[in-house]
Amino acid sequence: MTETIRDELRELVAAVLAEHDPATTDAVTFHRARFDAGLAWVHFPVGSGGLGVDRELQLFVDALFDQAGAPGHRAELNDIGLGMAAPTILAYGTAEQQRRYLRPLWTGEQIWCQLFSEPGAGSDLASVATKAVRDGEDWIVNGQKVWTSVAHLAQLAILVARTDPSRPKHAGLTYFICDMSAPGVEVRPLRQITGQAEFNEVFLTDVRIPDAQRLGDEGQGWRVATTTLNNERVSIGGRAVPRDSGILGAVARTWRENPAKHTPELHDRLLRLWVEAEAGRLAAMKLRQRVAGGQPGPESSALKLSYARGNQQLTGLELELLGEDGLRYDDWTMTQLDRLDFTTRSAGYRFLRAKGNSIEGGTSEILRNIVAERVLGLPVEPRADKDIAWKDLSR
């Protein structure tokens, strides 16, 4: 059966390539044709960029297009849209919302960002204070978001806001799609330790969002956001990667290029980290197979934990190996287009940027709680604020 499906996919890819020569067709036109053929996300339903087949077959389709020289679709900029917004829109969006947003998202015509974290609600996302008040067919939104990747480039954002402060903090939230060009949206860059301004503060002042851009029911925001976050953790820690690639491949290359600096202790550590990275890669493959027909669950938190820990330990080992040479850092002018490709940067950049891996996509401390409670079934951490109205909580 699988080989039959592969043959059908080959025919579909060949048909797209025959009608849209990658050498002469502009990228947007090419990607629109690929989406319409169901070859964007093959596991999505027919009509939404997919064919309703196994998620793992996407790798096969991507390889066929890569071999033909097909253009990329700005995945390095739109990982939030592709990995987080799209599956959430598929799960909770109306037919009109799916029709409106999925195609331009996948083609790269619209870049997305994520307006979740706030100065007082990072790890405890349910404590968000940004409020949305109903005004006819619109919602008026006021508040501040922070650590928003690519907000300065995004056209659209996924947004969680408080719509009912009289309910407990998890129950009074609603999820929206926000136009980043709307009046009242202000984006300010945040310069990070790498020297790059990859993240931003976003201020929302009387921003009007039509109710038609609400995703899910009013008050269902926490449930919708959980779907987004689980997909984010798969996107960060569970993406499909070849063996010996990513940070591991970069550090292994540094090791091979510096034989005079090898020590038995570093050698043993590198081998242990290689084994852990390979175990994580195989676990990610297994998880993607499990979620082929649905949404990821709390197990995705374990993958993201492993990814962050491994990257930080590997880059630390690399700097120990290089010694003072590893401190030479000349990547301060890195462009936004390179932001996800750690492997082409210097060892110093990799070491500094990896520090953020244990914060973005959920802090490691919170993810350990999720794994403990929802995967291992350990006792739930006491929460005194669970049944108290958000407006009555101390802040």
- What is the predicted pLDDT for the residue at 338? 47
Interacting residues of 161 by C-beta distance below 8 A, sequence separation 6+: 128, 130, 131, 132, 139, 141, 143, 173, 174, 176, 221
The model carries a pTM of 0.85
- What is the predicted pLDDT for the residue at 240? 55
Q: Contact 139/208 with Cβ under 8 angstroms? A: yes
Beta strands in 42-118 (DSSP E): 112-115
Reference 229, options 301, 148, 141, 145; nearest CA is 301
Q: How many CB atoms lie within 10 A of CB 25?
A: 18
Cα gap 144→317, rounded to integer Å? 38
- What is the predicted pLDDT for the residue at 337? 45
Reference 108, options 69, 70, 134; nearest CA is 70
How far are the Cα atoms of 251, 256, 302 from residue 271, in angstroms, in the given order?
A: 12, 13, 21
How far are the Cα atoms of 223, 320, 342 from residue 172, in angstroms, in the given order?
A: 11, 48, 39
- What is the predicted pLDDT for the residue at 216? 96
Q: Chain-centre distance of CA 159, in angstroms?
A: 15
Residue 89 burial by Cβ neighbours in a 10 Å radius (0-12, 13-18, 19+): buried
- What is the predicted pLDDT for the residue at 203? 98
Mean pLDDT per block of 10 residues along the chain (395 residues) reads 86 96 94 96 94 87 94 79 93 96 95 94 87 98 94 96 96 97 96 83 98 97 90 60 80 94 95 91 72 62 86 95 84 52 80 87 82 85 82 82
Cα gap 311→184, rounded to integer Å? 38
Q: Contact 141/204 with Cβ under 8 angstroms? A: yes
Cα gap 248→15, rounded to integer Å? 37
Report the SS3 class of residue 310: helix
Residue 330 burial by Cβ neighbours in a 10 Å radius (0-12, 13-18, 19+): exposed
Written as six digits, the tokens of 45 are: 């339903």
Which residues are marked as active site?
A: 232
Residue-wise burial string across 210-238, b where 16 or more C-beta atoms lie within 10 A, e elsewhere: eeebbbbebbbbbbbbbbbbbbbbbbbbb
- What is the predicted pLDDT for the residue at 297? 67
- What is the predicted pLDDT for the residue at 295? 59
CA dihedral 124, 130, 134, 139 (to 10 degrees): -110
Reference 307, options 266, 276, 270; nearest CA is 276
Cα gap 94→97, rounded to integer Å? 5
Reference 61, options 6, 111, 100; nearest CA is 6
Written as six digits, the tokens of 388 are: 């108290």
- What is the predicted pLDDT for the residue at 288? 64
- What is the predicted pLDDT for the residue at 357? 86
- What is the predicted pLDDT for the residue at 309? 93
For residue 138, the surrounding DSSP H or E stretch is strand 138-145
Residue-wise burial string across 105-130, b where 16 or more C-beta atoms lie within 10 A, e elsewhere: bbbbbbbbbbbbbbeebbeebbbbbb
Reference 204, options 163, 145, 137, 151; nearest CA is 145
Q: How many CB atoms lie within 10 A of CB 201?
A: 17
